[in-house]
Structure 1
Amino acid sequence: MSAAQLLNPKAESRRRGEALKVNISAGEGLQDVLKSNLGPLGTIKMLVDGAGQIKLTKDGNVLLREMQIQNPTAVMIARAATAQDDICGDGTTSVVMLVGELLKQADRYISEGLHPRIITDGFELAKIEALKFLDTFKLEKEVDRELLLNVARTSLATKLNATLAAKLTPAIVDAVLAIYQAPAKPDLHMVEIMKMQHRSAADTALIRGLALDHGARHPDMPKRLENCYILTLNVSLEYEKSEVNSSFFYSSAEQRDKLVESERRFVDAKLKKIVELKQELCGNDGKKNFVIINQKGIDPLSLDVLAKNGILALRRAKRRNMERLQLICGGTAQNSVDDLSEEVLGWAGLVYEQTLGEEKFTFIEEVKEPKSVTLMIKGPNQHTIAQVTDAVRDGLRSVYNMIVDKSVVPGAGAFQVACAAHLKSDAFSKSVKGKAKWGVEAFADALLIIPKTLAANAGLDIQDALAALQDEYAEGNVVGLNLETGEPMDPELEGIFDSFRVLRNCVASSASIASNLLLCDELLKARQMGRAGGPGPGMDGPNDHISNMASYDSDSSDGEFEETNVLLGYASKDADDDTISRLGGTPDWLDPENAPSAAYARCKVCKDLMVLLLQVNGELPERFPEHDRRLYVFACRRETCRRREGSIRALRGLFEQLQQPV
């Protein structure tokens, strides 16, 4: 009997060899799902949610975040891989592939009697040496547009088809270069990604300015203006009610007109100052124009006044766009109209509005300094736009990584082949003593999963392609795999580069995850993570046990649930059949004909409704204290919610305690 079962006979656990098999099979299973996505010739997966929404993607990050993964080991690997994307912007599929292959290679040696600790020691030595080798293998380069084009194209080609990747690459590189001001790092938040369901994905374009997802709210306002002064405001240009709740009464039409006039007096005074500034700067010749972008509201009467004076006004602009406007157009956002002058205004060469169906877009271009730009992503449908958006984000991060690291790594599997050969070379293998050398060899073999999978996804013979790469590298050439011919090629000449940062994190995180999983010798089914568990059955008196469960699953527990205080009659007997059968039958004291009232509340974990499984008012046996005689037990109705199982276990324990003889 294990220690966990000694403490709690009902504990669910998996020990030693069985736990190791569970972890290894989970890693291999997740690897099998994602390996067909790797590389430019990888396949596409279709994700369909419960509402029937479709998403087509080959991005490992999207797949791991949105797939329903139930195996706990696979969930752990998926979280680590998505963390790789958060840090580096790419490499999620590679992490999953490498973790799965490390576990597979380790299983080969474990089945021959080698202890997992020895293998993990070898993994650690191999990881340290691989990172040292990566530092010598990388190519240090200065920031150059042609190099950035190759880096972005390599990243995009793994997410999109080659033709579309080639068309999007210049837009992505130019977007980053526009906001890049050496020696500071580029701020990718200054690249706005706007989506427009229109035409095809190949029409995605870079706008060296700002695109707003709304237009003017008055039909008579101009749709296209050149040589524009830009006034950014955070001023309300609409009638606002007073903070004091008051009423006014009038007895004649004249008094009503005076009341309306007094209400408009403050807004009209603001409008007058704006119109006077426009007349002073622009005149009436039409060579210069005036645009207002306001973060607050503009009422219809104010819009009418501005339209009559030829002013284009946009209201309720987003705050982040207000900040970008000041960066690209100049000027200063104003919280008042009292001190308006030419110095506080920005400038744009062209402002125009485009209507697409029922949506309006306003474009501000030909600005002074495009320190912020917009990538307008187009596509015929939503899932195409989503696919392109994910690829563009990865492309932006790849360019960012190259600018920050000022180095790249030859791609197409070149690093993996070279590193595997280095780990198996006499120069390094002689420095590894003892059985740990088998862990190093397993690590070296696992690295080759990347070129093997690239060859398999291209329809090539895996062994022939790998042998050709290894033979060529043995002659002193750095080579990658040409996926069209299956022959070795020079990645640097072909312009195929991997990100140094992505590879470094991929090697380090994969080795750490695989080592932790190999050293896991027992799986235990735990209580809720982050919540202190109450004592198990038999460890305290029955009164303490019931009190703990009441505080754990009652409607007053730590604000875990929002009680709606809505009582919906009696719970039907059929609604509770599943729960009662899982509890081992109906207890004597629970009368099915007089089922407890069914209250509903909202589960904060999954936002679904949960049902009151049990409501006891004064029906508990006399041996329980008075404060325990009023008890509620809730359970979430969603089967995958972690609150459901906890509630069932607590209710089962309560039933057992109640059925004990006095």
Structure 2
Amino acid sequence: LLHLISHPEHDFQIMSSSLATLNPNADRIGGTNVALQINIGAAKSLQSVLTSNIGPMGTIKMLVSGGGEIKLTKDGNVLLHQMQIQHPTASLIARTATAQDDITGDGTTSNVLFTGELLKQAERYVMDGLHPRLIVEGMELAKDETAKFLSEFNIPIDTSNQKEARKILTATAQTSLRTKVRRQLADHLTDVVVEAVLAVTSQSDIDLHMVEIMEIKTKSDLDTKLVKGLVLDHGARHPGAPRSTENAFILTCNVSLEYEKTEVNSGFFYNSAEERQKMVAAERSFTDERVKKIVALKKAVCVGDKSHYGFVVINQKGIDPVSLDILHKAGIIGIRRAKRRNMERLSLAVGGYAVNSVDDLEPSCLGFAQSVYEQSMGDDKYTFIETAGMAKSCTIVVRGPNNHTVAQIKDAIRDGLRAVRNCLVDGAVVPGAGAFEVAAYLNLLKFKDTVKGRAKLGVQAFADGLLVIPKSLAANAGLDVQQALLDLIDEAKSNDGPSGAVGLDLTSGKPVCSADASIYDNLAVKKQFLHLGSIIATKLLLVDEVMRAGRPQGKDRHGEDPVGHED
């Protein structure tokens, strides 16, 4: 018994033999310290890869695919999705971080950095002999305390004061976008995403699917703009159709306006040319009647002082040349094969509703657009449908000289839209530029004194882990990290409350009031940042063995190689 107590590696040998008994071909890495070192090493490696990308001063990475495609980005979510991560622990952290982007649209890089730093801080205590369970206990206490602190350390958005609320929304979107693209472009895109979200905001919901993102590879990235309406990626099909019209009624429909052959092969015989003409007319009569009903609706609404108004038919199904000609002679612009996803957006943009039949057409089904015009860009044609009223759907036209620029802007816009939406849903924002992390660090130092036992070391590790955000921001800005952090902590001690919270000015390296500098982060992002980062770190700390699970690929039920290869 004394021999077993004095030789703990005996337990390891028993575990090894037990696993070998269960599966002689099992692959395993045993021993708490060995498994922990593997997990910590993977987390630190992933952290070191993404550290240089965080913040507005972060650098850009070039991703080269197997086919030679090149992508330039600093978006953590894009990097983690595109990089071929094979280490299981690093892959687990990457999937957890990208889950945050799916929920909140931001904070992926911060999550990876925080997880890696928590494991790095815990490593020091484990190497000194502290059991991981005690560290985890302290980290969980620290997480709960920080979550409670976050619920109070935020700045509410007063939606009744539209001017002030819009100022905060703009600042939050700007903070997010500046971490994705260059400063000048970020400032240009800020107004675009704020206007887009406000356009689709209703009292019950904020549906970002009603914001269409249209890519047009032409001109400069600063030509990206918001269209209050819809942009279709095709034009009118009739060669004589006008290229623009003002004050147009819009009929949105899903009706076949083309002659369709029967499923059963059939034929007919005629004795004269007159009989043939009658049979051809009879074949088209069904389709022509539908078109004539649309023409009749146009004549009913375009009367009096509205006689000069335009009329546009946007059909999800086809319109054949004969029907297009009838519509053209009646002064109607026909657009066919509109995408299904745009039909709901179109109704929200111009009003009215989509019809599936022309039997009971009424003026109430029509929408209205201030202008409809067609633009040719290269070999492609685009139809712009713009409204003057309160459109509940809109389109962001993304422009750029090449595919790299367009893809980068598109990713940034998606994050910007989510940032503005989070502000409206949360009703509050958090001071940015590392202000929250430093304030939470100081709060945990006070909280640590109330914790008894060695669990307070876990609280200290959690507090030190939070500082990875301001440290990384300072390092990427080329500042003296230690000096900038000390100045920031000293200044934060004399400032109470979120309104006076100080963050790091990346230009001067001096502390600055985040509210005065209009630097805000999303409350939802910080909540997920604390929750997911601490959860994955504490779970990895408690891993004592890594083993390959599941049935090997290419093996039959008895573990034999069906191909007949020998080891």
Q: Deviation string for 1:271-309 (max 9, x for gaps)?
A: 222222223332599621110001111111111222222
How far apart, CA to CA, are the structure 2 residues paired with 1:311 and 1:501? Answer: 49
Match of 1:129 in 2: 145
Contact 2:101 2:108 in 1 (8 A): yes
Secondary structure at the aligned position of 1:646 is classed as: coil
Distance 1:275 1:655, change over 3 A: closer
Secondary structure at the aligned position of 1:498 is classed as strand
Find the counterpart in structure 2 of residue 510 from structure 1: 533
Q: Cα deviation per residue 1:188-235 (whole Å; 9 max; x = unaligned)?
A: 111111111111111111111111111111111111001111111111
1:7 match:
22
Aligned match of 1:200 in 220, 226, 237?
220
**What do residues 17-47 of structure 1 show as CA deviations (whole Å, max 9, x unaligned)?**
2211111111001001101000000001111
SS in structure 2 opposite 1:56? strand
- The match for 1:446 among 452, 455, 465 is 465
In the alignment, what sits opposite 1:601? none
Q: CA deviation at 1:383?
A: 1.4
CA separation in 2, counterparts of 1:296 and 1:112? Answer: 71
Of 646, 649, 652, the match for 2:553: 646
Match of 1:493 in 2: 516
Structure 2 contact 228–349 (Cα < 8 Å) conserved: no
CA deviation after TM superposition for structure 1 residue 54, in Å: 1.6
Pairing 1:150–2:171 present: yes
Q: Quote the Cα distance in structure 2 between the aligned partners of 1:194 and 1:136.
A: 40
Q: Superposition pairs for residues 201-240 of structure 1, below 5 Å? A: 201-240=221-260
SS at match of 1:278: helix
In structure 1, distance between residues paired with 2:565 and 2:327: 76
1:55 counterpart residue number: 71
Normalised to the residue count of structure 2, the TM-score between the two structures is: 0.92
Matches within 5 A, 1:75-474: 75-143=91-159, 144-182=165-203, 184-250=204-270, 253-282=273-302, 287-425=308-446, 428-474=447-493
Letter in 2 for 1:293: I
1:315 partner letter: R
RMSD after superposition: 2.0
Alpha-carbon shift at residue 150 of structure 1 (Å): 0.5
| SS of residue matched to 1:69 | coil
Distance (Å, rounded) in 2 between the aligned partners of 1:70 and 1:8: 24
- Alpha-carbon distance in 2 for matches of 1:72, 1:273: 64
CA distance in structure 1 between the aligned counterparts of 2:293 and 2:562, rounded to whole angstroms: 76
Partner SS for 1:220: coil
Alpha-carbon distance in 2 for matches of 1:229, 1:656: 69
Report how far residue 334 of structure 1 moved: 1.7
- Does the 8 A contact of 1:232 with 1:292 survive in 2? yes
User: For the residues of structure 1 that align with 2:76 and 2:562, how far apart are their CA atoms?
Assistant: 46
CA distance in 1, matches of 2:464, 2:418: 30
Contact map agreement 1:527 1:646 (CA 8 A) in 2 = no
How many Å apart are 1:140 and its aligned residue?
Answer: 1.4
Q: What is the deviation of 1:357?
A: 1.2
**In structure 2, C-alpha distance between the alignment counterparts of 1:136 and 1:335, rounded to whole Å:** 52
TM-score (norm 1): 0.79
Shift in Å, 1:648: 5.1
Give, as a single letter, the amino acid of the residue that structure 1 aligns with 2:225.
A
Q: How far has the Cα of 1:252 moved from its partner?
A: 5.3
Shift of 1:267: 1.0
Query: How many residue pairs are counted as aligned between the two chains?
Result: 540
**Alignment deviations for residues 609-649 of structure 1 (CA, whole Å, 9 cap, x no partner):** xxxxxxxxxxxxxxxxxxxxxxxxxxxxxxxxxxxx51057
Most deviating of 458-467 and 362-371: 362-371
Say which SS state the counterpart of residue 483 (structure 1) adopts: coil
Amino acid at match of 2:312: V
Per the alignment, in what secondary structure is the counterpart of residue 560 of structure 2? helix
- Answer whether contact 2:555 2:562 (CA < 8 A) is retained: no
Task: Give a deviation string over 1:352-397, Cα, whole Å, max 9, x none.
Answer: 1111111111111124431111111111111111111111111111
Give me the whole-angstrom Cα distance separating, in 1, the residues matched to 2:564 and 2:502.
70
Equivalent residue of 1:371, what SS?
A: coil
* Partner SS for 1:647: coil
CA distance in 1, matches of 2:35, 2:390: 60
| Alignment correspondent of 1:30 | 46
Mapped partners of 1:373, 1:658: distance in 2:
60
Does residue 67 of the first structure (1) align with residue 88 of the second (2)?
no
By how many angstroms is 1:314 displaced?
0.7
Give me the whole-angstrom Cα distance separating, in 2, the residues matched to 1:506 and 1:32. 18
Segment drifting more, 154-163 vs 282-291:
282-291
Alpha-carbon distance in 1 for matches of 2:356, 2:395: 26
1:269–1:655 distance in 2 versus 1, CA, 3 Å: closer
Looking at structure 1, the residues matched to 417 and 469 of structure 2 have their Cα atoms a distance apart, in angstroms, of 23
AA at the equivalent of 1:68: Q
CA–CA separation in structure 2 for the residues paired with 1:253 and 1:54: 63
Q: 1:471 to 1:226 in 2, by over 3 A?
A: same
Contact 1:481 1:487 in 2 (8 A): yes
Task: Kindly indicate whether the alpha-carbon contact (under 8 Å) linking 1:327 and 1:369 is maintained by their aligned counterparts in 2.
Answer: no
1:379-434 per-position Cα deviation (integer Å, ceiling 9, x unaligned):
11111111111111111111111111111111100111111111112xx1222111
Letter in 1 for 2:427: K
Residue 124 of structure 1 aligns to a residue whose secondary structure is helix
Q: Which has the higher contact order (CA 8 A, sep 6+)?
A: 2
Q: Letter of the 1:239 partner, please give it.
A: Y
Offset, 1:658? 12
Segments ≥4 residues shifted beyond 6 Å: 649-652, 655-659
Pick one of 503, 527, 533 that aligns with 1:480: 503
Counterpart CA distance in 1 for 2:94 and 2:430 is 25
User: Residue in 2 aligned with 1:621?
Assistant: none
Q: 1:166 Cα deviation (Å)? A: 0.7
SS in 2 for 1:76: helix
Give ranges in structure 1 of 5+ residues lacking alignment.
529-644
Larger Cα-atom Rg: 1
Query: Per-residue CA shift, 1:116-175, capped at 9, x if unaligned?
Result: 111111110110011111112111121311111101000000001111111111111111
C-alpha separation in 1, matches of 2:25 and 2:202: 63
Q: Percent identity?
A: 55
